[in-house]
Structure 1
Amino acid sequence: MLRTAAILGLLAAIGPFAVDMYLPAFPAIEKGLGTSVSSAQMTLTVYFIAFGIAQLFYGPFSDQVGRKPPLYLGLAIFAIGTIGCALSPTIEWLLVSRFIQGIGGAVVMVVPRAIIRDMYTGPQATRLMAMVMLVISVSPMLAPLAGSWLILIADWRAIFWVLFAAALIGIVITGYMQPETLEKHHRVPVNVRTLFRGCRILLTDPTFMGVTFIGGFGMASFFVFVANASFIYTGQFGLSATQFSLAFAVNAIGFFATSQLAAGLGEKFGMERVVSLAVLGFAGFSLLLVALTYAGFGSLLVTISFLFLANACLGFVIPTTMVIALDNHGDIAGLASSLGGTLQMLAGGLFIVVMGPFFDGTTFPMVVAIALCAIASTILTWRILPNTKSTQGERT
């Protein structure tokens, strides 16, 4: 399991790296391309939207041809988009290239989750998912630091050349280290009829839809933070690019640390109960941060501390809801993974678009948006999880 977690984690980390590494470059991109703050943020939004939409393709494709061919295709598209980003002469060029990059990067969200479902269900799948996330945790902890370092010795374009190298490494890992996990007799021919039938099954399954959006609103809160953190930490709080990277890493540590405990607590208390309590914690810390910020106590230390606690609660929520969503759909795991990922990414991307006019480079609009995500997750948890009973064990 450790070897599998390391391989899948390295592949899955490529997508987050494309976000986390260039966050410190937002001000440099704004200045270098002569654009605005909102346009720089839009490069993140278009990536998320493309990342979400493209997942609808990779899941069914992997159910039909196996897990490895989509990885080759997606990573190649990601590499092409990354070259375009590095060579962008204008913000419009960068937006198009980021969209292409997102189309390719989506594969590392879908296929690793489907591979996990090929091998395990229940708490064992949660354990492997958490181990994969531990590997992915390198991204928010080290990628911003690497990005800020590259900006100091080169410029923001160097970040994309590093991402291009990461895509090539991913292709090599897929070819030589990741075995095929979907046997030929388990593959599902994809046509319009089977695709619509599978989507109908998933879209009418209240458990799948409910837990997908419970985790999805949690992820949306991450998107809100990612889209605003560099401007708030460097603008309102006056941090340097390196200091911002360290502050960003602190907020990520809580999530990835608690995600390692999710499987054990799920086995002991039940995965649904763990999610329910963690969502309440997420809502409680988020709302308290809103109150403190509104009252004038939203210092850098307070902001980092409460975001750390809120994200720690999400460490229990997100990997566990991913597993619950796929547990009862092993025969269409690729489609379920892609549809769930698409719904989550689109929800997050659209939430940023809707809240965008309210973001002004200060803390309060950001923490209010995060609290709204927490409230939405809490409402869904109350309505969905009492009627949910997840399966356990290995795939038979």
Structure 2
Amino acid sequence: MLKEASEKRIRLVTIMAFISIPLSGFVTDIYLPSFPSMAKGMQVSEKDIQITLTSYLLSYGICQLFVGNILDNIGRYRPKLVALFFLIISSLLITMTDSIFLICLLRILQGAAVSVLVVATRAIFVDIYDAEKVKHYLSYFTIVWSCGPILAPFLGGYLEKLFNWHANFYFLAFYAGAIFIFELFFSGESLPEKKKVSFSENIKLYQMMLKNRIFMLGIFILGLSYSIVMLFNITGPFIIENTFHFTPVVIGYCTLILGFSWMIGGFIGKKRISLGFNSRILQPVIIQLVLIASLIAVSYFAQSLYITIPFAFFIHICSGILFTSFFTTSMLYFPKNAGTAGGLMGGLVYIITSLTSFIISVSGNVSEQKDLGWRYLIIASLLFGIILIMSKTLKKEKAEN
């Protein structure tokens, strides 16, 4: 039982937990620079390749809705080992097929496996640390997680250039394998007391959480903030390679730069966590809307990679600020049911993200800078509207209290 483990072992498990956090970002992003070459090699459309990512995100989101409650009932340790095993096997199987249908099925399996890993890792911190330390560690989650989106496409671009798209999934198998070995020999169960499975109580618990308006509005803000980042991830590779005529390595560099923007936003969001709602939330979303409007206006006069990336960089910083602000506060709403709350939050965030990704995929080719700008504007406008609703809700609750 980790709760009773030595300080040295707990420190080691904590370090390894932070090392494992970027894995979900790697599973999502490492093959983004390979999108165009995968489409050409398999002789399928851009939309078909984008659906492999949507399949993963949807599975990842839906599974998190149920995984949290299961982990609160049966523990964290054994499910993590099983999830890592399936992630290793599915990654290797993807390298052995050129069937887009089979890849989608395997990506669905990967989404389920990663959902177990992410929810269990988040819950471990709540299991073994007091409230103050939990808040401290959770505020670093999005910053550490952003190492995945930063490094994964950058590495993927070089793996694509040196080998082919299959190398991305060999790397995922290696990464998951290293974590599996550590978990097997050094980690253990962190849940102090396993709860009995009660379907009726679980339904009541979910109902209580879903009825919490602030909690739910926060989830929508998280989902739309991340959707803005994913918008570039699923469309950017095609714009950079097919319209601007750059290589997969350049795609990797671009996503590396934008990954840093998300991390910078995370650091800024952490520093601003104690500010009032208007300064902490309204200012970033208004700045984001102004930047997007400027990108659209400029697009009608000039289109260039050197215009797109700087605008996207600051747009993504704003999303990183918003995501970090709401992630920390949302995770602390239900500390006695951390696995369930974390799973519900993470699940709905990725369902929202996968739905917006699917809509983007079927809404027509995003082949130009202005196409990207208009889609940015639609998502950011929805985000701004929900933030205004939350602001009014908070004022109303404050007045009633």
The aligned residue for residue 356 of structure 2 is 351
Alignment partner, residue 383 of structure 1: 389
Name the structure 2 match of 1:259. Answer: 266
Q: What residue number does 1:145 align with?
A: 154
- Select between 15-24 and 204-213 the one with higher mean Cα deviation: 15-24
| Equivalent-residue separation in structure 1 for 2:110 and 2:17 (angstroms) | 19
Higher mean alpha-carbon deviation, 175-184 vs 78-87, is at: 175-184
Aligned AA for 2:55?
A: V
Contact 2:228 2:319 in 1 (8 A): no
Residue 84 of structure 2 corresponds to residue 75 of structure 1: yes
TM-score, reference length from structure 2: 0.88
On the 8 A contact 2:94/2:169 being kept in 1, the answer is yes
Instruction: Please report the RMSD computed on the Cα atoms of aligned residues, expressed in angstroms.
Output: 2.4
Q: Give per-residue Cα distances to partners, 1:325-373, cap 9 Å, x unaligned.
A: 2222112211111111111111111112223223332222222222222
- Contact 2:65–2:348, Cα closer than 8 Å, also in 1: no
Aligned pairs for 1:1-396 within 5 A: 6-118=15-127, 119=129, 125=134, 127-176=136-185, 178=187, 180-184=189-193, 187-267=194-274, 269-270=275-276, 273-293=279-299, 295-356=300-361, 357-388=363-394
CA drift at 1:4 = 6.6
Contact persistence 2:57–2:354 (CA under 8 A): yes
Q: Note if contact 1:259-1:315 (Cα within 8 Å) is conserved in structure 2.
A: yes
Deviation at 1:166, TM superposition (A): 1.0
Identity over aligned pairs, percent? 22
CA distance in 2, matches of 1:330, 1:7: 23
Change (3 A) 1:272 1:55: farther
Give the partner amino acid of 2:336. Answer: D
* 1:199 CA drift (Å): 1.0
Tell me the amino acid that sits aligned with residue 323 of structure 2: I
Kindly state the Cα deviation for residue 289 of structure 1 after the two structures are TM-superposed.
1.9
Shift of 1:88: 1.3
Q: Which residue in 2 is equivalent to 1:393? A: none
Q: Which runs of 5+ in 2 are unaligned?
A: 1-9, 396-401
Q: TM-score, normalization: structure 1? A: 0.89
What is the CA–CA distance in structure 1 between the aligned matches of 2:279 and 2:189, rounded to whole Å?
Answer: 34
**Unaligned ranges ≥5, structure 1:** 390-396
Residues 246 and 6 of structure 1, relative CA distance in 2, 3 Å threshold: farther
Once the 2 structures are TM-superposed, how far is the Cα of residue 273 of structure 1 from its aligned partner?
4.5
**Alpha-carbon separation, structure 1, partners of 2:278 and 2:65:** 27
Q: Which amino acid aligns with 2:57?
A: F
Following superposition, the deviation at residue 126 of structure 1 comes to 5.4
Q: CA deviation at 1:212?
A: 0.6
Contact 2:228/2:316 (<8 A) preserved: no
Residue 270 of structure 1 and its aligned partner are, at CA, apart by 4.4
Shifted more, 301-310 versus 133-142: the winner is: 133-142
Q: Would you say the 8 A contact 1:127–1:263 is kept in 2?
A: no
How far apart in 2 are the matches of 1:261 and 1:120?
25
- Inter-CA distance 80–327: structure 2 relative to 1 (3 Å threshold): same
SS for the counterpart of 1:378 is: helix
Deviation for aligned residue 1:134: 3.3
Q: What SS is found at the alignment partner of 2:195?
A: coil
Q: 1:291 to 1:110 in 2, by over 3 A?
A: farther
Deviation at 1:46, TM superposition (A): 0.7
> How far 1:69 moved relative to its partner?
2.7
Q: Is the 8 A contact 1:66 1:180 kept in 2?
A: yes
Q: Distance in 2 between matches of 1:8 and 1:219?
A: 22
CA distance in 2, matches of 1:275, 1:281: 10
Distance change >3 Å, CA 237–CA 164, structure 1 → 2: same
Q: CA deviation digits over 1:108-140, x for unaligned, max 9?
A: 332233334443657x65542343333333322
Query: 2: CA distance between counterparts of 1:283 and 1:334?
Result: 34
Cα pair distance change 1:277/1:251, threshold 3 Å: same
Distance 1:360 1:160 in 2: 26
Which range moves more in the overlay, 354-363 or 306-315?
A: 354-363
Change (3 A) 1:6 1:277: farther
Distance in structure 1 (CA, Å) of the matches to 2:139 and 2:150: 16
